[in-house]
Amino acid sequence: MLSVIRKLADGLIALSAAIGALGLIVEVIILLADVIGRAFGAPIYGSQDMITMTMVIVVFGAMALCDREGGHISVDLFERSYPALLNRLIDIFSAVLGAVIFVGIAYAVNESAKLSVMLNLSTNLLRLPKAWFQNGLSIFALLTAAGMALRAIELTLSGRDIRKGDTAKGDTA
Amino acid sequence: MSASMIGFIGILVMFALLILRVPVALTMFSVGFVGITILDSSRSAMSLLASETFTLASSPELVVIPLFILMGNVASATGMSRKLYDAAYAVIGQLRGGLASATVIGCGGFAALSGSSVASALTMGKVALGQMDRFKYNTKLSTGVVAAGGTLGILIPPSTGFVIFAILTEQSIGRLFLAGVLPGIMLLLLFILVITVICWFRPEFGPAGPATSWRNKGKALLGAGPIVSVILLTIGGIYSGLFSPVEASAVGAGVVILVGFFTRTLSVKALWLAARDSVVTTATVMLILIAAHMINPFMALSHIPTAVGELLSGMGLGVTGTLILILAIYLVLGCFLEGFAMLVLTLPIFFPIIMALGIDPIWFGVLTVLTLEMGLISPPVGINVFIVKSVAPNVPLGDIFRGVLPFWLMMVLAVALLMFFPQIVLFLPNTMLG
Amino acid sequence: EELKFASFTPPFHTINASVIEKLNADLSAATNGDLTVRGYHGGELGAGPAEQYIRVLQGAADMSWGLPGYTSSQFGKTMISELPGAIPEDMPGYEALWRAYDKHLSQEFPGTKPLALWTSEPNIFIMRNKVIRTPADLAGLKIRVAGTTAAEVAKALGATPVQMPASQIYNAMQTGLIDGVITGASTLTDFKLDEVADALTLGAPLGRLAFYTVLNRGTYDGLSKDQKAALDAASGAGLSKSAEDAWLETATAALKIARADSANKVIELTDAEKASFAEAVSGVVEAYVDSVDGAATQAAMQGK
Ligand code: NA
Ligand code: NA
């Protein structure tokens, strides 16, 4: 059961990161086209609108994968001097805390998105609705939270730390 | 309980959670959120959580972070970084620690195109760390060099640190930029000095390579041509007004990608993997920056900076005493606050005290930015150390902090030198701008 | 009770004395220190000027100030006041805004109580290495713009509009990435543009910037009757005038410094020269007013 959920989660996490990576390539293209166009007197209209909104996808797209691969940094100065049980408890606590925080981010940003709709907020030149990107951020954050919650369950039930698996590049020292 | 007391307890809790290995970003989110809830309301904390997250994630300035990471990743994937270090190795590899010194010089060069220390440490980390590994350099030394060398990003112009200082204090940006040049070069030389000393006593930290013929040196230098051209082109593009320092990150990444495709050293798949790896690193870095911004309103609501300012102006210390005390406060604050957040919180309070004592504001600005750099690499919240950790996940954080220590001491020495010889700061702006 | 006023600028900015400290002084005096205002400067209560309105609406701060231009889609009709020639040059902007407020603008400020609405000094050309006398002088020049209408104005004048954050203008002007900006003279000191600009052109109809100071509606409703009365008395046209006058003073002082510097070329357009600019941008003004269905709003602002 748990392994089925893990497979599904990993699929979604990979998809979400792919969207982020695509966003990054798009950023490069927009900025380059803007710089070149400007040199010839024809910059891209609303380039800053596109760049800043795409940035949201770039920053949050791989957030879940970042956690999956153990990318979120902690101060590991005393890790080796703690007993194994304490380390496991800390890992579980951190995963739960992370899930709570990301649900909080998703909820808070979603509340703001409702206000953005009410206030008709959009980017200044291209009129891209702010709520789209806020909702996108919320979805990425929820996926991150789900990944963290799943990790907490795995750590509790089976002691398996997905971050230290074969594909993980996390700190195994 | 007073607001300041709650702020103080918040800092202690933050330290405790960090020592307990709770991820840095999660720690700062929790402490900031709970602190704001206690000092104001949960409504306010929720609102700040939403606005800080979205504002930073859509910041037109921070777009340099993913783009420079991509540039570094692609430079590594195409072998450009390898060739750059082959060249450096051929030229100064026979000296102990030669590659570490070359990396510091590289950091200085990169600082001339990047206004941000984070971006400098990220890009140089992506380019340099794997290469120094290849030549058997000790990871304490290599990560320390990149974390410390990256801080040159805000001392050597262009610098986001000086821009923020200038706008918060009504000082001249141009004057501050010029004032940072000589101290930047001085610090760079001090870093090279300390590398040489370390490797003199511990040759295994930066093993000397074999001597190479002039012919081989020339060949290796030629191989580094593409990446060196990209860097020179990018710096040239900024200073000739073709693009902004922010856009330079995209130009750098774009040109490296195009060169990679053109020389057939980059496949579409390799680019995709580099982009995917870049967004993962971006997530690490940006989450820490966002979380650091949750601490800022908490500290503002605790009124700790105001209390410290009142205490300071009531003490009636002289010029040197006040200056040393302020820099000491920055050092302590730098242990748990993000650098720019610290400027926003403290400068409005400290700067009037500085002006009242007749202290040169430009001199103070450079000292402040230098102290800020020390905060970037001092534990437990050393943003640049975290950055390097995100690039070198297998190196324990403790090793990076230990590796950074000698460089941190050089910064103390640099602060002392600038205190005794303000001319180092003021010479360029005074001669060039009158 | 202490009300939190979030500001994104440093404490010495014009807003502090003219609005934040004034509100604090007036409210303290009227309520015997029962109701006070504390400023949180430089973005201490959250970064980014674009989020100021939301910050108040959600209650992260009780009050804040901002520019409708940062989130122009919210302030379609309020933005009319920024258009070139939309309000007669000699008419104070705050008067125009308040005249239109009840009937035309109030729906653009949901969940808050505007305490002050005002406009800036007139926009001018702030240029480097380029001297502007006629619209033709702008042909092909790269001009930094903040929003849609400014972009349309720049285009109508034959310039290439370039978008960039305010913090990057200095560097962009220095390196020649942009040739100049269209904005108020106060940016000469606020953003240090006086260091990089060397030519100013005054008098062209380029519009102005609008500003608001708002209070959270819930905060207002939670005040006692006396506190509400004090707040009503301390806000509105009086506070707006204080802000607008202070903005004009800052701009006048910045211009005085700029004129005193012999390295600067300061050009005052003649009436005939002004007219050629007015003609070039008139289409933009009409098109914008039409797009927000704002003819009645504009008439109200003009007092017609
Ligand atoms: Na720099
Ligand atoms: Na630190």
In this predicted structure, the answer to whether residue C285 has a pLDDT above a threshold of 70 is yes
In eight-state DSSP terms, residue C21 is I
Residues B72 and B127 in one domain: yes
State the DSSP H helix or E strand holding residue C37, giving kind and residue range, or none if neither.
strand C36-40
Residue pLDDT, tens place only, C9-60: 888 899 999 999 999 999 999 999 999 999 998 888 987 788 999 999 999 9
B380 with B365, same domain: the answer is: yes
* A73:B397 CB<8 A: yes
Measured between CA atoms, how close is A90 to chain C, in angstroms? 31
Summarised one tens digit per residue, pLDDT across range A5-48 is 999 999 999 999 999 999 999 999 999 999 999 999 899 999 99
Give the per-residue pLDDT at A165.
62
Domain range spanning residue B53? Answer: 1-58+291-301
b/e per residue C47-83 (b: at least 16 CB within 10 A): bbbbbbbbbbbbbbbbbbbbbbbbbbbbbbbbbbbbb
Within a domain: B273 = no
Q: Classify residue B274: in a domain, yes or no.
A: no
Q: Which residues does chain B have within 8 Å of residue A112's beta carbon, measured at their own beta carbons?
A: 47, 50-51, 54
- Does the pLDDT at position A97 exceed 80? yes
User: Quick check: C41 and B41 CB within 8 A?
Assistant: no
Count of all residues that appear for chain C in the document: 304
What number is the average pLDDT over the span B333-342? Answer: 74
**Would B312 be classed as within a structural domain?**
yes
Which of A54-63, B55-64, B157-166, C177-186 has the weakest average pLDDT?
B157-166
pLDDT in tens, C143-166: 998 777 888 899 999 999 998 888
Residue scoring higher pLDDT (B195 or B343): B195
Q: In this structure, is residue B272 part of a structural domain? A: no
In chain A, residues with a C-beta closer than 8 Å to the C-beta of B281 are 71
DSSP one-letter string for C261-293:
-TT-EEEEPPHHHHHHHHHHHHHHHHHHHHHTT
Contact A75 B29 (CB under 8 A): no
Domains held by chain B: number = 2
**Chain A contact for C151 (CB, 8 A cutoff):** yes
Smallest Cβ distance to A43: which of C69, C70, C160? C160
Q: Which residues pair with C65 in a beta bridge?
A: C213
Tokens (6 digits) for B160: 């986001």
Let me know: does C13 contact C249? Beta carbons within 8 Å: no
Banded pLDDT at C211 (limits 50, 70, 90):
very high
Least-confidence region, from B11-15, B132-136, B163-167, B297-301: B163-167
Pairing of strands C63-66, C160-163: unpaired
Residue C9 to residues A171, B174, B202, Cα–Cα distance (Å): 42, 20, 50
User: Hey, what amino acid is at B241?
Assistant: G
Cα(B177)–Cα(B245) distance, integer angstroms: 14
Same structural domain for residues B96 and B236?
Answer: yes
Cα-to-centroid distance, B404 and ligand 2 (Å) = 12
Write the CA distances from C25 to B314, C11, C31, integer angstroms.
25, 16, 10
CA C237 to chain centre: 16
Closest CA relative to residue C245, chosen from C174, C161, C176, C186:
C186
Cα separation, B237 vs B244, in Å, equals: 8
The domain boundary, picked from B275, B301, B327, lies at B301
Measured between beta carbons, which residues in chain A are less than 8 angstroms from residue C74? 119-121
Judgement on whether residues B387 and B330 belong to the same structural domain of the protein: yes
Ligand nearest to the CA of B180: 1
Residues B46 and B192 in one domain: no
Nearest CA in chain A to B379: A75
* The pLDDT of residue C1 is above 60: yes
**Distances from the Cα of B133 to the Cα of B125, B128, B208, C236, angstroms:** 12, 9, 14, 66
Same domain, B80 and B18: no
Nearest to B119 by CA among B240, B255, B248: B248
**Tokens representing C269?**
């357009």
Residues B189, B109: one domain?
yes
Residue A170 has pLDDT above 60, yes or no: no
Same domain for B65 and B100, yes or no, is yes
pLDDT of residue B288: 87
| DSSP letter string, C75-113 | TTTGGGGGSTTTS-TTS-HHHHHHHHIIIIIGGGSTTEE
* Confidence at A173, pLDDT banded by 50, 70, 90: very low
Q: Is the minimum CB–CB distance between B320 and chain C shorter than 8 Å? A: no
pLDDT (0 to 100) of residue A160:
84
| DSSP secondary structure of C225-249 | HHHHHHHHHHSTHHHHHHHHHHHHH
Mean pLDDT of chain C: 93
Instruction: With a threshold of 0.90, tell me whether the complex ipTM lies above it.
Output: yes
Percent of chain C with pLDDT over 70: 100
In a domain, B279, yes or no: no
Residue C125's SS3 state is strand
pLDDT of B337 over the 80 cut: no
- Candidates C56, C71, C82, partner chain A, best to mutate (most A CBs within 10 A): C71
The string of DSSP letters for A114-159 reads HHHHHTT-B-TTT--BHHHHHHHHHHHHHHHHHHHHHHHHHHHHT-
Question: What is the arithmetic mean of pLDDT over B324-330?
Answer: 88
Q: How confident is the model at residue C192 (pLDDT cuts 50, 70, 90)?
A: confident
Q: What is the mean predicted confidence (pLDDT) over B369-384? A: 86
User: B223 and B348 in one domain?
Assistant: yes
Residue ranges of C 11-70 with Cβ closer than 8 A to chain A: 53-54, 57-58, 69-70
Report the percentage of chain B scoring pLDDT > 90: 48
Q: Which residue has the tokens 């933009």?
A: C284
CA-based nearest residue in chain A for residue B291: A101
Provide the residue ranges of all domains of chain A, joining segments of one domain with +: 2-157
Above 80 in pLDDT, residue B340? no
- Per-residue pLDDT of B218-261, as tens digits, reads 988 888 888 888 888 888 898 898 998 889 899 999 999 999 99
Residue of C nearest to B159 (CA): C171
Residues B30 and B75 in one domain: no
Distance (Å) from the C-alpha of residue B110 to the closest C-alpha of chain C?
17
pLDDT tens, residue by residue, C165-175: 887 888 899 99
Q: Helix (H, G, I), strand (E, B), or coil: what is residue C36?
A: strand
Average pLDDT over chain B, rounded to an integer: 89
How far are the Cα atoms of A51, B214, B288, B376 from residue B340, in angstroms, in the given order? 23, 46, 13, 10
Q: Are B176 and B366 in contact (CB under 8 A)?
A: yes
Given a cut of 70, is residue A171 above it in pLDDT?
A: no
Interface contact A115-C146, CB threshold 8 A = no
CA distance C272 to B165: 43
Write down which residue in B243, B274, B301 finishes a domain: B301
Q: What is the dihedral of CA B99, B102, B108, B114, to 10 degrees?
A: -60
Between A146 and B347, residue with greater pLDDT:
A146
Global pTM reads: 0.91
Taking all residues of chain A, what is their mean pLDDT, rounded to a whole number? 91
From the list C41, C39, C61, the residue with the least C-alpha distance to C218 is C61
Structure tokens that stand for A44 in this block: 């891209």
Residue B88 shares a structural domain with residue B170: yes
Judge if B295 and B387 occupy the same domain: no
Residue B342 or A64, more confident: A64
Cα of B236 to ligand 2 centre, how many Å? 33
Question: Could you give the CA distance from residue B39 to residue B368 in angstroms, rounded to a whole number?
Answer: 29
Distance from Cα B21 to the centre of ligand 2, integer Å: 16
